[in-house]
Structures are given as C-alpha cells and as structure tokens.
Amino acid sequence: MNAKMSELATNAESSICERHFFWLPGQKNSVFCCLHLPLSHHVNNHLVIVCNPIGYEYSHAHRTLRHLCDSLAAKGIAAVRFDYHGTGDSPGTILDSERLETFQNNINDVIKHVSSFFDNPKITLLGLRLGSTIAGLYASKFQVDNLVFWSPCERGRAFVREMRALDRLSEQTESIERDYIDSAGFLLSNDTADELSQINLRELNYKVAERVLLVDRDDISPGSKFYESLLKTTSYVTSQFVMDGYTEMMSEPQETLVPTGTLNRIVDWCTEVPTKTIQKPVIEFQSELAIESNDLEIKETIVKLGSNQLCAIISKPAEKVSDSLPTVVLANSGAVHRVGPNRIYVELARKLASIGFQVIRVDLRNLGDSVSGYPDNENSPYPAESTEDIQSVLDTLKVETGAKDFVIAGLCSGAHNVFHTALEVEDTSNIREVIMINPLAFYRRPHLYIDNSKEQSRAKNTEQYKNSLLSIEKWKKLIKADVDMKYLLKFIFNFFILKSKNLVKSILEKFGFVEPSQLSRDFQKLKSKNIKLAFFIASKDPGESIIMSQAKGEVLKLMKSGDVYIERIPDSDHTFSSKLCRDNFISIISSYLESRYKYEK
C-alpha cells in the first residue's frame, strides 16, 4: 500500500476529536479498532473501552456509540470502539468456536495494547446490551477501575429464548437442520447459545476498584433486581439512571436518533473519575492485516479516501491484483456503515478478494465513520454529495492503487447512489458496470425528485400476492375466508388495469407516439456511455416490478443487447436476512463477476 494512503488511515480527524482506525497487532484473533482522542495536545490518563452489542443491535447502535466516543474525546478522555473477532470489520465469523472466551480475550488485548501508550491509565469498561454481558464476564475475572452496564442483557437464558422465538417467527423457508440460531440476520451457534444460557449477571462478583453505573432502558421496567445485586458489595460505589430514547436509538439505522441527554450523563459520570492529565501519546497504528478467507489469504487495509477523507476498507488478494480485473466499490446500504446489512458487504468483499478482485467498502460523507462533527444531514441514505464522494473515491484509487477500471455497486439506497454517479459524472470512461442490488427508488434527490411512494407500495403488494400464490397456507386462508376478499378483488382489478396501462405505454413508446420515461432515457444514457447495468433482486423484493413499470420496453431491448442483466435471488428478502440466502446471493454475484471479467476472454 502506498505510504501516503497508509498515513491517511491514521490521521482521521473529526471536527471535535481525532479518530484513529487500526488493526490490533498480531494475526490470531486480531480485531478492528477505532481510538478517539482529543484534538488538544493533552489527554486524561483514562481509557474508556466500549463493548459493542451483537447482531442487528450492532448496526443500529453504531451511530450512537460513535457519538459517545466522540463526546468522551471532546472532554479529554480517550475512548476505544472495537469489533469482536467474527463481527463487523474484524476477521472470522460469529459461528467460529469459543466465542465468549474469544470476545473476553479481545477486550483484554485491546486494553493491553492501547494502555501501553499511556501511563498506567484508569480503565472504564462500558458495554451496551449483549456487550454489557461480555463486559460483565470480563470484569468478573479481571480488575477494571469502573464498569458501565448500559441496557444489559442480564440473563443469557432469556436473551437466547428471545432469539430462538424470533428465528421461529421468521419467514425463512429453510427446512434443513442447522446448528445455529438465525434471528433477523443475527447468527448464534448452538454452542454459544448454550454458553450464554448459563450466564446471569446478578450472580457474578465484579472486580471493580472504584464505581459501577447501571443505565436502564426506558421502554421496559428498570432492572431493580440487578441494581440490588450490585449494591450488595461494598468494594465499589454504585449508581443508576433510566435513559431517554432507547427505542429511537435502536430504530432502523436510517431512522435512529442519538440520545444526547443520555450520552451527556454517561460522559459526565466518566469525567468524574479522578485522574491526571498527560501528553497525548504518539502511536503507530497498524493499517494492514492478512486475513484468511475461503482458505486463501487476503489483505485488508484501512484507508481514508478522497478529498473528504472517507473511511474505507480495501480487501484484495495477498498476491498482486490483476490489472485485467476491475476494482469493485461498495457504497453504503441505507445508513448502515460499511459492513452492510447483516455484515453482507464484509462477506462479499472477502469472497471477491479471494478470487482476485480488489474491493472497497466505503462510508459516504455523513454516514458511518465518515461523519465529521455534527452535520445537519447526518445519516441520510441519499446524501446529496454521494456522486461527488464516489467520484472522489475512484480518482483517489486510480492514483494511489493504480486501479484502472471500476464496477460500482450498492444495495437499496447504495444502488440509487451508484446509478446517479454513472449518470452524472462527466468522465465515466473507467466505470465498466453499475450493479444495483434491490433498488427501491431511482429518483430521490431534491433536484431529481419523483414521488414514487405509491408505485413502491403497489410493487410491494404485487410481489406479496405473487409469492402468496405459491403458498399452500395462503390458499388455506383464502378458502377459510380469512382474507379480505373486497381488498383482494380491488387489488386484482387495479393490478390488471395497471398492467394494461403499462403495456399500452410500452407500445406507444416503441413507435414514438409518447416520450420515453425518465428511467428509459437514463438507461439509454448509460448505454451511450458504454456502461453495463446489472440488477440482483431478492425474490421477495419489488425491485423488478418497479423497473418494469417505468421502463419495460427499454429494459427488454437492453437485455437482448447484453447491456442490462437481471437476476432474481430465490427465497430472499430485502436485506438477505437469513444466512442461507446471504450465502446464495454472495455465490451468485461472485460467479457473475468472475465469469464476466476473470474468464471473459
């Protein structure tokens, strides 16, 4: 990796603090970390180690925990976020063995490594949800100065029971026996579930030197029994408060609200730790790591890209990247940071790297870890600057890595953003293909806005009824009159009216009697730029119906010429929330890219 780019990876600066991204040294069980430091030349001799939740809560809470660490650093306290081995950006998988022991070892390794740059600092361990459980396990074995339980999963058995219930309620069509729980994209091996079921935070004794804080959820009854169990010891001071805005904090990533009041109270509690001020340490950060993927070694490098220093991770083969293969750029899906929904971007990037591609997972401006300060438009899935950002990424990669050609791809809003990049950027000679995964909207920016919410709703209903035709259970409901027949007949009537209108419109467009739709014209524009367009659409998603309702005639013509490709992913939903459908999607898109570029000649 170019020395300049490696340097960029260690000099990330928010407007209120510094963020340094790095891999923990050592190959075995290395993890991805982010150290938040104050902008001043001094720092408190105090480290806050943040233990993430796991599963869907990991992605939903990412924004809030980043804000928390930024706020701590702004107050002079160093804070570290990290992804446990097998989660987020870190190597491994959540189904690897000995997860709970590994996660505790990760905490220990992070504390030891970062502490070595300070002067025997005070350590505060803070965990959110299942992160509290893991932090509690660690603190029952190793001494820490302070401990924060934030909305903890007190009893592992109850947590596992909820996960199993959600698994059973899912619409997955899997009938095979499996040795893991698959709950809304959250995987948990049966062995790990059994280990978790033995844990009860009320029964543990914690090796805490100074203080413990319990932050309770505001959407359920406060954990008074757990608090009472904490009060039984006389070795540390215990306090408790109920947070505001738990539900909003854990909403879908694009809808999350940061509980600022709660963060302020946690930060104030942390600043009360008596400690000295020291010179801010100069630290050398490891930005590159060798990772095993599909039994092959790949390399991943943490970088900052483009004029706006966007946070990104490059996955590539351990050997030299082939000049004949395009570099694949993955733009955020919704407001989920660069790991993607259910970690699908990480798995896809590593699979593609193992077969020879260079892949970049990037957080666009004001998303994920590319947020600087407190911008008004933070967390927007359709940032107005996305075209500028993606173009800046491509330009930087050409200079710094020697990349010549690109495939730009994204899921949901990411599909929208790469589509408009290809349309709007003047020089697209290096863009060979746009891959759109489960697009729901083609025009959502203010200056191009077309209100297609009704169209999306109609398309979703269409897909739902089409899938219902193949369900025996749905036919039983119909026979038993458990279905609203009036609504069903109205839908069928409107559906055929719409189909007829679209057919007539397509014929009139073909013979030039009406102007082509905006989407048809844009597809033509991409063809004139010699950019291919591929769609990968989950069988339960309305993407294909949306495309065909707006540009069926043009799409069919371009499919014949090979300029447009459409493939449906069977038994899949919008975010590929089951492991089997994720694995299938990754296999399909990897095979597509491999056959299209690696073996095209």
If you write DSSP's letter for every residue of 450-476 in order, what string do you get? ---HHHHHHHHHHHHHHHHTT-HHHHH
Residue 176: band (very low, low, confident or very high) from pLDDT cuts 50, 70, 90: low
197: left (phi over 0), alpha (psi -120 to 50) or beta: alpha
Identify the weakest region by mean pLDDT among 363-377, 445-459, 524-538.
445-459
Q: What is the dihedral of CA 484, 488, 489, 490, to 10 degrees?
A: 100
**Higher local confidence (pLDDT), 445 or 376:** 376
How far apart CA 243 and CA 216 sit, in angstroms, is 6
The answer to whether the beta carbons of residues 181 and 163 sit under 8 Å apart is yes
Question: Does the pLDDT value for residue 445 go beyond 60?
Answer: no
Q: Hey, CA dihedral for 598, 388, 575, 379, is it positive or negative?
A: positive
Question: Does the pLDDT value for residue 43 go beyond 90?
Answer: yes
Question: Does the pLDDT value for residue 491 go beyond 60?
Answer: no
Q: Topology of 3-155+207-279 in CATH?
A: Rossmann fold (3.40.50)
How far apart CA 72 and CA 67 sit, in angstroms, is 9
- The amino acid sitting at 319 is E
Show Cβ contacts of residue 99 under 8 Å, excluding neighbours closer than 6 positions.
84, 86, 189, 192, 195
Query: Rounded mean pLDDT of 437-464?
Result: 59
How does DSSP classify residue 76?
Answer: T
How far apart CA 424 and CA 440 sit, in angstroms, is 19
How far apart CA 216 and CA 220 sit, in angstroms, is 8
Identify the weakest region by mean pLDDT among 205-209, 293-297, 402-406, 573-577.
293-297
- The amino acid sitting at 128 is L
The answer to whether the beta carbons of residues 165 and 205 sit under 8 Å apart is no
**Structure confidence at residue 235 (pLDDT):** 85
Q: What are phi and psi of 54, to 5 degrees?
A: -125, 155
Closest CA to 186 of 112, 119, 130: 130
Residue 373: band (very low, low, confident or very high) from pLDDT cuts 50, 70, 90: confident
**Structure-block tokens of residue 358:** 């260079």
How far apart CA 44 and CA 76 sit, in angstroms, is 6
Question: Does the pLDDT value for residue 324 go beyond 90?
Answer: no
Rounded to the nearest 10 degrees, what angle do helices 518-528 and 413-424 cross at?
60
Average confidence score pLDDT of the chain: 87
Identify the weakest region by mean pLDDT among 399-413, 494-508, 549-563.
494-508
Q: What is the dihedral of CA 337, 57, 133, 48, to 10 degrees?
A: 40
Q: What are phi and psi of 161, to 5 degrees?
A: -60, -40
> What does the angle CA 528 – CA 529 – CA 533 come to, to the nearest 5 degrees?
95
Residue 482: band (very low, low, confident or very high) from pLDDT cuts 50, 70, 90: low
How does DSSP classify residue 181?
Answer: E
Residue 203: band (very low, low, confident or very high) from pLDDT cuts 50, 70, 90: very high
The answer to whether the beta carbons of residues 448 and 522 sit under 8 Å apart is no
**Structure confidence at residue 222 (pLDDT):** 73
Expressed in angstroms, the distance from the first to the final Cα of the chain is 29
Show Cβ contacts of residue 426 under 8 Å, excluding neighbours closer than 6 positions.
none
Q: Hey, CA dihedral for 162, 168, 174, 175, is it positive or negative?
A: positive
pTM to 2 decimal places? 0.88
Question: Does the pLDDT value for residue 463 go beyond 50?
Answer: no
Helix, strand or coil, per DSSP, at residue 274: coil
How far apart CA 468 and CA 492 sit, in angstroms, is 13
**H or E stretch covering 585:** helix 579-593
CA atoms within 13 A on the CB side of 98: 6
Identify the weakest region by mean pLDDT among 239-248, 334-343, 447-456, 547-556.
447-456
Question: Does the pLDDT value for residue 465 go beyond 50?
Answer: no
Question: Does the pLDDT value for residue 490 go beyond 70?
Answer: no
Rounded to a whole number, what is the largest CA-CA distance in the chain? 85
Rg (CA), the chain: 25
Segments of the chain assigned to CATH 3.40.50.1820: 3-155+207-279, 288-452+517-598
Beta bridge partners of 20: 35
If you write DSSP's letter for every residue of 364-420 in order, what string do you get? PTTSGGG--S--TTTT-SS-TTHHHHHHHHHHHHHHHT----EEEEEETHHHHHHHH
How far apart CA 310 and CA 211 sit, in angstroms, is 38
How far apart CA 50 and CA 66 sit, in angstroms, is 10
Please state the CATH superfamily assignment of the domain spanning residues 288-452+517-598 in this structure. Alpha/Beta hydrolase fold, catalytic domain (3.40.50.1820)
DSSP E strand stretches across 326-374: 327-331, 359-362
The answer to whether the beta carbons of residues 36 and 79 sit under 8 Å apart is yes
The answer to whether the beta carbons of residues 91 and 289 sit under 8 Å apart is yes
Q: Residue written as tokens 């999306």?
A: 456
**Higher local confidence (pLDDT), 184 or 269:** 269
**Structure confidence at residue 26 (pLDDT):** 76
Q: Hey, CA dihedral for 272, 275, 277, 280, is it positive or negative?
A: negative
Helix, strand or coil, per DSSP, at residue 565: strand
The answer to whether the beta carbons of residues 125 and 51 sit under 8 Å apart is yes
**H or E stretch covering 316:** strand 310-317
Closest CA to 441 of 305, 546, 302: 546
